[in-house]
Chain A
Amino acid sequence: MTKFIIRRLIQTIPVLLGVTILVFSLMHLIPGDPAQIIAGESAPERQVEQIRERLGLNDPLHVQYGKFLGNIVTGDLGQSVRSSRPVADEIGTRFWVTVELAVYSTIVSVFLGLIAGIISAVRHYTVLDVVIMIVALFGLSMPNFWLGLMLIQYFSIGNWMPDWMSFMQMRASGWGDSWKQVVLPVITLGTAGAAIIARMTRSSMLEVIGQDYIRTARAKGVKERIVIYRHALKNALIPVVTVVGLEFGALLGGTVLTETIFAINGMGRLTIDAIRTRDFPVVQGTVLVISLLFVFVNLLVDISYRFLNKRIELD
């Protein structure tokens, strides 16, 4: 197992390099001169030249990339053009807000999705199964932003509007009823994932329940509950785990909209603002950080996948 984790870690190195190259190219792929865009159309040539100098745009590309990589390794993501603060500081707390949002949403969607999927599979072709699957279909087809707006519409009366910063403060001094502030954004973000996981779990469970080894377990006199939760579920989770990993990625993307709708000051909103104001270093920083997070989550998924599926131990 440790050998596998080490090998898997080494495998992420090329991926990480790829990510940095992509993020680095961001600056150069946009049409026009980045320095000019940052400075504005009518800025004097001298000012543009200054910016170009500051961003190191006059160096050859490989030198620029080398510096960029070196800076990343030391945690230096450059400076925001707008606020002149280090990008790392800009991302700082916002990163944790987004991670928290994503993690809660993932937990909620895994929890709901698994339960709904298992019930559906065990009771398949009953009314309950049909109802769950219809709800899941709705959850799946509802656009994120629309669901968010609807939730605000219906719940804003009950003071369920989120105030993420106060939520962060609350958390420091115990939970209180700060959960109210998390509920809506987490529902907004987690619904689609829950639906996908529910459908995946159902079909995976149905397939597993038809397997010979489930009959073997029953023939041993194992209780039905244990047949389902021990013998079937562990096998059924193998494909579901992969979906959870992918879902988490989709969720990180989804935070952009959700944070905007609920006025949450996280990475998603930072990215949007940076794009709008052409603050390239910040865009690079947020994209880089989110990509790294995604790579990390996939690493976790692979490890847990491997933990469930003994068979891959062979290769």
Chain B
Amino acid sequence: MSTYKNILEVRNLQTSFFTDDGEVKAVDGVSFELPKGKTLGVVGESGSGKSITALSLLQLLSKPGKIKGGEILFKGKNLLDYTEKQMREIRGNDISMIFQEPMTSLNPVYTVGYQISESLMIHQNLNKREAKLKSIEMLKLVGIPSPEKRVDQYPFELSGGMRQRVMIAMALACNPDMLIADEPTTALDVTIQAQILDLIRELQAKLDMSVIMITHDLGVVAETCDYVAVMYAGQVVEFSDVRSLFKKPKHPYTVGLLKSLPRHDIEQEKLQPIKGTVPSPKEMPVGCRFSPRCPAATDLCRGRMPGLITDEQKNEIRCWIYSEEWDGDPEVNIYGEERIAEG
């Protein structure tokens, strides 16, 4: 066995889109790690680069997207050194991915059974019959009633929740070590959302998987994750274990996100959305990317990009407030009048 501490370590990942209008740095120096068997949440507003990060991990970017640099260490080996053929053996076998849109993520002209069988035939050399039997088993595993019948149906015959279950069955068919779930519940009804999340959690324990859960819902993170990477404008601004993050968020952006989340454990006057909008790639601030929206921003913040600072709990924050160089109020209260993390 090779020696690796974390099943996945991403270091300084940079992914850009080379468009006619110039380079769009969708992912700009993202680093995080994921210990085996754990769940990492990736949160951030729309456009922060969550999906592109995920697609980069499997090298599934479509043109004009390109990974410019960094390292993706999966079980200690850098996936960016792999050939396309080697990557194909990883995809769907060691690392699987499920997507946000169950309605469009299944091929409309093939049966559900065929689509699950396909990865079994590719990665496990099963023949058609064996693969179909295994597909039925997988459908049963993800809680689809009368799987013998469903296996021969086409995607349009299934509801959104069912389709997402099929996607999960497909992703887990070859027993992957890691599952990347890109907003798996965003497109679903609230009740179905809870079911799908429960299913992923249950199967994670059963199959001893590591999971990357992409979401813009901190509620989902609180329920399912062990670690969180908070992304803003293509960067990780805070990487933390879940407990610390909810107890004492450190980055003003994380604080803002938490304030905009309805909570039951404290009294909230009203939800407070973060003012302003995510900067567009063309007018990216020179300094901290959150500085134009940050209530605590100083000249230092606006002038220079902060690096990642590691705190006592080994959590990381990309914010000047926690550095030696901080030029603002040393007692700055990023939580506003009402502290949100009393509990």
Interface string of A222-242 (1 = CB under 8 A from B): 110000000100110000000
| Number of residues of chain A lying within 8 A (CB) of chain B | 21
A212 to chain B, nearest CB (A): 4
Q: Is B154 an interface residue (CB 8 A)?
A: yes
A216's contact among B55, B106, B123, B156, by CB below 8 Å, is which? B106
Asked if A67 is at the interface (CB within 8 A of a chain B CB), the reply is no
Given the contacts A212-B101, A215-B99, A309 and B109 also touching, CB distance less than 8 Å: yes
| A28: Cβ under 8 A from any B Cβ | no
Residues A198-230 near B (CB distance < 8 A): 210-213, 215-223
Q: Are A220 and B170 in contact (CB under 8 A)?
A: yes
Contact of B156 among A219, A223, A234, A314 (CB under 8 A): A314
> How many A-B contacts if CB must be within 8 Å?
71
The segment from B86-94, B214-222, B250-258 found at the interface with A is B86-94
* Residues of B close to A308: CB separation below 8 A: 109
Residues of A within 8 A of B55 (CB): 215
| B79-101 vs A, Cβ < 8 Å mask (1 yes, 0 no) | 00000000011111100110101
Task: Evaluate contact between B122 and A310: CB separation under 8 angstroms.
Answer: no
Q: Which residues of B contact A221 (CB under 8 A)?
A: 88-93, 119, 122-123
Distance in angstroms between the alpha carbons of A31 and B61 in the assembled complex: 67
Complex Cα–Cα for A257 and B123 (A): 56
Smallest CB–CB gap between A141 and chain B, Å?
A: 29
CA distance A219 to B122 in the complex (A): 12
- The residue among A218, A219, A314 with the most chain B CB atoms within 10 A of its own CB is A219
CB of B213 closer than 8 Å to a CB of A: no
Contact of B91 among A213, A220, A314 (CB under 8 A): A220
B residues contacting the other copy or chain, number (CB 8 A): 29
Q: Tell me whether A311 is interfacial, beta carbon within 8 Å.
A: yes
Tell me if B107 counts as interface (CB < 8 A to partner A). Answer: yes
How many angstroms from the CA of A222 to the CA of B174 in the assembled complex?
A: 13
Q: A223: which B residues are within 8 A, CB to CB?
A: 88
Q: Name the distance in Å between A295's Cβ and chain B's nearest Cβ.
A: 27
Given contacts A212-B101, A223-B88, contact A217 B107 (CB under 8 A): yes
Q: Which of B105, B118, B154 contacts A222 (CB 8 A)?
A: B118
Cα distance, A212 to B105, chains bound together (Å): 5
* Interchain CB contact under 8 A, A212 and B104: yes
Closest to A232 in B: B107
User: Do A213 and B104 form a contact, CB below 8 Å, given A219-B96, A221-B91, A223-B88?
Assistant: yes
When distances are taken between beta carbons in the complex, the residues of chain B under 8 Å from A210 are 62
Is B26 part of the contact surface with A, judged by Cβ < 8 Å?
A: no
Q: Are B60 and A218 closer than 8 Å at their CB atoms?
A: yes
When chains A and B are docked, how far (Å) is the Cα of A222 from the Cα of B92? 9
Q: Which residues of A contact B62 (CB under 8 A)?
A: 210, 215
In the complex, B108 has a CB within 8 A of chain A: yes
Docked Cα-Cα span, A314 to B167, in Å, equals 23
Whole-angstrom distance from the CB of A74 to the nearest CB of chain B?
A: 44
* Contact partners of A217 in chain B: CB under 8 A: 107, 118
B212 at the interface (CB under 8 A from A): no
CB <8 Å contact, A219 and B106? no
Looking across the interface, which residue of chain A has its beta carbon closest to that of B89? A221
- CB pair B109 A219 closer than 8 Å: no
Whole-angstrom distance between the alpha carbons of A264 and B236 in the complex? Answer: 73
**B291-317 interface with A by 8 A CB criterion:** none
State in angstroms the CA–CA spacing of A216 and B99 once bound together. 8
Per the 8 Å Cβ criterion, residues 282-315 of A in contact with B are 308-311, 314
Closest-CB distance, B186 to chain A (whole angstroms): 13
Enumerate the 10 nearest inter-chain pairs by beta-carbon distance, A residue then B residue, closest first: A220-B92, A221-B91, A221-B92, A212-B104, A213-B107, A220-B119, A212-B105, A221-B88, A219-B97, A310-B154
Q: List 28 A-B contacts (CB under 8 A).
A: A212-B101, A212-B105, A213-B105, A213-B106, A213-B107, A215-B62, A215-B99, A216-B106, A216-B167, A218-B60, A219-B96, A219-B97, A220-B91, A220-B122, A220-B170, A221-B90, A221-B93, A221-B119, A221-B123, A222-B119, A222-B122, A223-B88, A234-B109, A235-B109, A310-B108, A310-B109, A310-B154, A311-B108
